[in-house]
Homo-oligomer: A and B are copies of this chain.
Amino acid sequence: MTWAEPIRVHTAHARPGMLTLLLKEIRHNPLLWLLVFVPAVLAGEKLAPESHTLLFVLSVLAIVPLAALLSHATESVAAKTGDAVGGLLNATLGNLTELVIALAALRAGQYMLVKASIAGAIVTNTLFMLGASFLLGGLKHHVQEYNRVGARFQAGLLFLATIALLIPSAMAGADRAPGIAFTRTLSLGLAVLLIADYALGMLFSLKTHPELFAGAEHGEGDEAPWPLALALPTLAGVTVLVALVSEVFVESVQKAATEFGMSPAFVGFIIVALVGAAAEMASAFSGARKNRLDLSVGIALGSASQIALFVAPVLVLLSYVMGPAPMDLQFWPGAVVMMLISTLTASLVTNSGRSAWFMGVLVLLVYVIFGMTLYLLPPAVQ
């Protein structure tokens, strides 16, 4: 097909044509009409910074279409690069959002909120994203098979990353209060080890063993993928917009939540995590519906691993530069239990490389019970 080559090259460089393609996409997809809330929320923050409930609602409405755009852009890149790299790319950009949110809390010295959002992101990405992917995929496909080797590897990575993250908490819980200096030094050493490990993990999945992460045979997607010249700039630009809107969301969510009767633990652990991961969820769910469960599992487990191996240690290190005091990695006991259960669940359910709708129901059940527990927990205990 040598004659087609010049056309593709030409298309890839035609920026105005790209914008036309993007606008056409928006015109045909009613969900994307919600993009009007992006300027609305940014304007609202300037004009009425005290209308917390309004800003909260506007920011959620604005994040949804941005997540949808990000989803299509990531899938387009994934279509050209393979599911694993696409999943990795998506998780990194999605977690950039969480990193930006946590950085705002870090600057304000709200370390409990930072830790709750780290723990909540691991639990939500693992249980909710995985469970809902299994359920949504299973409602359309009788039994879904996916790359067991990749899933087991990622579940093992997540298990080990979570264990590493939890050792300071486990030691503080198991032993008689070894002291804040011990916990801080341990957390700092841990942060350095986790980031080194994350870099080695990138080397492994992208350079030395990419084939372990390759997706199984898939059905074709129903939407045409964008060319890279549209997908890559959209990925970058939409991520920035998500970050901007997310900051408004975080500022408003605490006060809006109090009005809705939600406890602070529920907000940090569930609401912030769900909205922060909205973009990745759109991709994961879309993959599951298209019977590309490798993509869904890769996003869910990869995203949770990156929170543990990358976002959490980076926040510890940045707390020495940007925060009022060094942050350690000691979580409250209930969060430790929930993180451990989430990663064990991920290991057990991805073990077989098969899924059906009820598997999703079970995983979601554990998530719903966690959410119910946090919702009911009296504030003094958290």
Interface residues of A (CB under 8 A from B): 142-143, 148-149, 152-153, 155-157, 159-161, 163-164, 167-168, 170-171, 174-179, 182, 185-186, 189-190, 193, 197, 200-201, 204-205, 208-209, 212, 332-334, 336-337, 341, 344-345, 347-349, 351-352, 354, 356-359, 361-363, 365-366, 368-370, 372-373, 376-378, 381-382
Contact = CB atoms under 8 A, between A and B. Distances in A.
Nearest to A341: B163
14 contacts: A142-B209, A160-B366, A163-B366, A164-B365, A171-B377, A175-B332, A175-B377, A176-B381, A182-B381, A189-B372, A200-B358, A200-B361, A201-B358, A204-B361
Count of identical protomers in the assembly: 3
Nearest to A200: B361
A193 B370 contact: no
Contacts of A189: 372, 376
A377 B168 CA distance: 11
A182 to B, nearest CB: 6
A322 to B, nearest CB: 25
A193 B159 contact: no
Contacts of A356: 204, 208-209, 212
Given A351-B152, A372-B186, A377-B171, A160 B212 contact: no
Contact of A160 (B142, B164, B171, B363): B363
Given A167-B370, A170-B337, A373-B171, A160 B209 contact: no
B156 A359 contact: yes
A188 B149 CA distance: 40
A32 B362 CA distance: 41
Contacts of A159: 344-345, 348
A190 B369 CA distance: 7
A352 B378 CA distance: 43
Given A365-B164, A372-B190, A377 B182 contact: yes
A174 B337 contact: yes
Contacts of A208: 142, 356-358
A177 B380 CA distance: 10
A351 B148 CA distance: 11
Contacts of A190: 369, 372
A208 B362 CA distance: 16
Contacts of A212: 143, 356
Contacts of A204: 356-358, 361
Nearest to A179: B378
A193 B348 CA distance: 21
Contact of A369 (B164, B347, B376): B164
A368 B356 CA distance: 36
Contacts of A163: 341, 345, 366
A175 B365 contact: no
Contacts of A381: 175-178, 182
Contacts of A382: 175
10 nearest interchain CB pairs? A174-B333, A204-B358, A160-B362, A178-B381, A174-B334, A175-B381, A170-B337, A152-B352, A189-B372, A164-B369
Given A204-B356, A377-B182, A362 B197 contact: yes
A348 B347 contact: yes
Contacts of A167: 369-370, 373
